Copies of this chain bind each other. A is one copy, B any other.
Amino acid sequence: MATQKLDPKKLEEAASKLRAIAHPMRIAIIGLLERKNQMNVTEIYETLKIEQASASHHLNILKTKGVLDSRRAGKNTFYFLKPHALEQIIDCINRCH
């Protein structure tokens, strides 16, 4: 299954993806969303007791890396785990021994 050679570009992407996820606050956000399905930014930053801008920033990183997706509903933006994204990452990690 494995491709023959190490592709530096893909490697860089994967490294940056895992590195981005491996951050305490972002892991906390993922943890929240594993339980609550979806939350808006205010709920998230109040629950985690961080600045609103900081929450938004972390959310954007997780979205960029394909872990989360968001949906706007009026004034609120709801964030939620992208289906299967977490599974894939966990698979990846388990292979990385």
Q: Which A residues have a C-beta under 8 Å from some C-beta of B? A: 1-3, 5-8, 10-19, 21-22, 24, 27, 30-31, 34, 66, 86-97
B97–A88 touching, CB < 8 Å: yes
Nearest CB of chain B from residue A4's CB, rounded to whole Å: 8
A6–B92 touching, CB < 8 Å: no
A30 CA to B36 CA, complexed, in Å: 43
**Which one of B2, B27, B66 lies within 8 Å of A87 (CB-CB)?**
B2
Chain B residues near A17: list those with CB within 8 A.
Answer: 96
Chain B residues near A87: list those with CB within 8 A.
Answer: 2
A3–B97 touching, CB < 8 Å: no
- CB within 8 Å for A5 and B22 given contacts A92-B14, A93-B10: no
